[in-house]
Amino acid sequence: MLAIVSVVTVMLGIERLYIHMKLGLGLIELAGIVACSQALILAAQLWFSGGENRRANQALAYYILAQAVYLAMVSWAFSDYRPPVFSLYHLVGIIYLYGPLFYVYAHLLTGQGDRLASYWRHFVVPLMLWATLPIFQDTEILQAHTSYQTLPVAVKKELAMISFPSHLLMLLYTLWTLELLGDHRRRIRDHFSSLDKINLMWLAALAGLMGVMSGVLLFLDAVGMIAGRFFLPGTGISFIVTIATINYIGVMSFRQPAIFHGRAPADVDISAGDIIEDADMEKYQKSGLSEERVDDLWARLQKAMVEEQLFLRQGLKLDDLAKEASTHSNYLSQVINSRAGVNFYDFVNGHRVAFAEALLKDGASRRTIADIAEASGFASLNAFNSHFKKRLGCTPSAYRKQAKV
């Protein structure tokens, strides 16, 4: 699929370059058209992908389609090839849908929803704002100017009034998304020992970037509406950020296929739909376990970890350990929390670090750091270095040198 998408993208790029040479399109229009083509390909791929994340992918496809419409509008609005009948300027209202669509995608991806239709309330205000655009937009004046710089100040103020709600909505929804992803990361630490492929840090980074850009554009709109000072064209910034967002999502769809397509990589052995099986339960549900029962489960757990060394399994899950101890995962989570004082994630990786520490102390061993990380159950070298330094205060390489001395 990656090869097909790459070939199609290159062909589209060649085609658009030909159009650029023949029709004299500007670089901005050309960049917008190419990015719009990429967005349509990516949206189609997401829409028809199967797996556990089908609903979430459909929400993401809607979000990318909205961005494609915006790019098409901007690319054609100030070009010499505008459609003579229908005014594209009214389509700019689609940016009001960005925030809700992005939040809905994150909500579905983290397993906290199952149907797109159940989120209709999030779109009432954006659609009402979009419906008011013909009242405030003077499309004749807009069509008479070929650049943002030549627009009258009064028209720039109107444009700022139109974009202000979209940036406010985007800022609010990115903040809610970041809160949602923070809760997600805390929950998966109770279920999984390897988080590299499921922690959604790429989505949190994207949400953070979008939140910062929305805040900046919100400030610029406010200054423009109040003081009539316009330092930077907000449309140009949004245009660049939109293109960067589409390409970023496209790259991540190939780097983390388990999340985008529901295919589980071998070292994690999950699908994103299984990230939170007990999302509606409290973090440590009171079970009424007797002290004798807790002692028994702790003894079974110690046997599984110390004698059988189950922590060496990459991608070990709480459910796997609960099966070995012949108990429910909620009970085992409670025992780990009460006896070890940590969550499942830190508990397992603590055993892995101790195992790696013993290997590093072996002066006769010639194993590389990467080999030791893999032998200790870590899914990646970065995860190994992070946990090792967090627990022992130095990197594995530095620890090995100190042990030799």
Domain at 396, CATH number: 1.10.10.60
Looking at the domain assignment, is residue 279 inside a domain?
Answer: no
> In this predicted structure, what is the pLDDT of residue 361?
85
> In this predicted structure, what is the pLDDT of residue 208?
93
Q: Which domain holds residue 154?
A: 2-271
Instruction: Decide which of 243, 271, 299 is a domain's last residue.
Output: 271
Residue in this structure with the two tokens 């990015």, named with its chain if needed: 35
Q: How far is CA 198 from the centre of its chain?
A: 10
Contact 284/334 with Cβ under 8 angstroms? yes
Range among 4-18, 138-152, 302-316 rated most confident:
302-316
Where residue 14 falls among pLDDT bands split at 50, 70, 90? very low
* Domain shared by 211 and 343, yes or no: no
* Percent share of the chain, pLDDT over 70: 73
* Domain shared by 261 and 370, yes or no: no
Where residue 151 falls among pLDDT bands split at 50, 70, 90? low
Looking at the domain assignment, is residue 323 inside a domain?
Answer: yes
Looking at the domain assignment, is residue 285 inside a domain?
Answer: no
* Domain shared by 266 and 300, yes or no: no
Contact 22/34 with Cβ under 8 angstroms? no
Looking at the domain assignment, is residue 283 inside a domain?
Answer: no
What lies within 8 Å, CB to CB, of 4 at 6+ separation is none
* Domain shared by 310 and 247, yes or no: no
* Domain shared by 193 and 305, yes or no: no
Q: How far is CA 323 from the centre of its chain?
A: 32
Q: What is the DSSP letter of 287?
A: -
Contact 272/188 with Cβ under 8 angstroms? no
* Domain shared by 173 and 308, yes or no: no
Where residue 170 falls among pLDDT bands split at 50, 70, 90? very high
Q: What is the mean pLDDT of residues 100-129?
A: 86
Looking at the domain assignment, is residue 390 inside a domain?
Answer: yes
Looking at the domain assignment, is residue 162 inside a domain?
Answer: yes
* Domain shared by 262 and 299, yes or no: no
- Greater pLDDT, 343 or 236: 343
> In this predicted structure, what is the pLDDT of residue 261?
61
> In this predicted structure, what is the pLDDT of residue 288?
63
Q: Determine the Cα–Cα distance for residues 98 and 174; give it in Å rounded to an integer.
A: 10
Where residue 5 falls among pLDDT bands split at 50, 70, 90? very low
pLDDT single digits (tens) 348-403: 999 999 999 988 887 656 788 999 999 999 988 888 999 999 988 999 988 888 87
* Domain shared by 79 and 184, yes or no: yes
Where residue 10 falls among pLDDT bands split at 50, 70, 90? very low
Kindly report the number of other CB atoms within 10 A of residue 201's CB atom.
13
The per-residue pLDDT of the chain, averaged, comes to 77
* Domain shared by 257 and 334, yes or no: no
Number of structural domains, the chain?
Answer: 2
The CATH number of residue 134's host domain is 1.20.1070
Total-model pTM = 0.73
* Domain shared by 72 and 134, yes or no: yes
Q: Determine the Cα–Cα distance for residues 321 and 300; give it in Å rounded to an integer.
A: 10
* Domain shared by 75 and 121, yes or no: yes
* Domain shared by 168 and 311, yes or no: no
> In this predicted structure, what is the pLDDT of residue 365?
67
Looking at the domain assignment, is residue 281 inside a domain?
Answer: no
